[in-house]
């Protein structure tokens, strides 16, 4: 079988937005029969929560929409930009932080803002929900469901 397409979602802590993106994307890939053709992971630019499950508020909001979030947080590594085909970041600070790993700008084309793939929402970033209320987590999921549909279309067009 061909090498899977490798997709990495990145946020700050890797306990809210990017693990939720991973869960939403995995569910969509499974529903379309692409689960074994695309490998997905998430990471944080900060290392504060390494090894932890996603934030309970994010897990509950995701569970209510049928997504199981069970990945363990990890920090972005030097090798990620080489190893992944597409690195989708949640906000512009994540973009700056991930680009700082790419000192020679070799991988610019594969680092993209997640919201570039949204079609139903105008937001250009997925807002950090950590210090806010419940509705922040719902907005994260709304944006992720929108953007992941776009990501799915993009990725499936590259699979032969």
Active-site positions?
11, 17, 128
Q: Which is nearer to ligand 4NP, 13 or 147 (CB)?
A: 13
Per-residue b/e over 105-142, b at no fewer than 16 CB within 10 Å?
eebeebbbbbbebbeeeeeebbebbbeeeeebbebbbb
- In 32-89, DSSP assigns E strands to 38-44, 86-89
Q: Let me know: does 7 contact 86? Beta carbons within 8 Å.
A: yes
Minimum distance from residue 130 beta carbon to ligand 4NP (Å)? 4
What three-state secondary structure class fits 113?
strand
Minimum distance from residue 122 beta carbon to ligand 4NP (Å)? 20
Q: Which is nearer to ligand 4NP, 5 or 43 (CB)?
A: 43
Distance separating alpha carbons of residues 34 and 28, to the nearest angstrom:
8
Q: Which is nearer to ligand 4NP, 76 or 81 (CB)?
A: 76
Minimum distance from residue 77 beta carbon to ligand 4NP (Å)? 17
Binding residues for ligand 4NP (CB under 6 A): 11-17, 44, 48, 128, 130
Cβ-closest residue to ligand 4NP?
13
Q: Let me know: does 44 contact 9? Beta carbons within 8 Å.
A: no
Minimum distance from residue 3 beta carbon to ligand 4NP (Å)? 29
Q: Which is nearer to ligand 4NP, 19 or 117 (CB)?
A: 19
């Amino acid at each position: 079988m061909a090498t899977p397409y490798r997709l990495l979602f990145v946020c700050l802590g890797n306990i809210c937005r990017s693990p939720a993106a991973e869960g939403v994307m995995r569910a969509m890939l499974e529903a379309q029969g692409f689960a074994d053709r695309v490998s997905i992971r998430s990471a944080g630019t900060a290392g504060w929560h390494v090894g932890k499950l996603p934030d309970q508020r994010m897990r509950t909001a995701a569970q209510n929409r049928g997504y199981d979030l069970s990945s363990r947080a990890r920090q972005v590594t030097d090798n990620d930009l080489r190893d992944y085909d597409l690195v989708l970041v949640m906000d512009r600070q994540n973009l700056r932080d991930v680009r700082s790993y790419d000192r020679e700008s070799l991988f610019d084309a594969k680092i993209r803002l997640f919201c570039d793939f949204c079609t139903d929402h105008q937001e250009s970033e997925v807002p950090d929900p950590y210090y806010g209320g419940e509705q922040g987590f719902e907005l994260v999921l709304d944006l992720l469901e929108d953007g992941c549909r776009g990501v799915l279309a993009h990725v499936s067009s590259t699979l032969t």
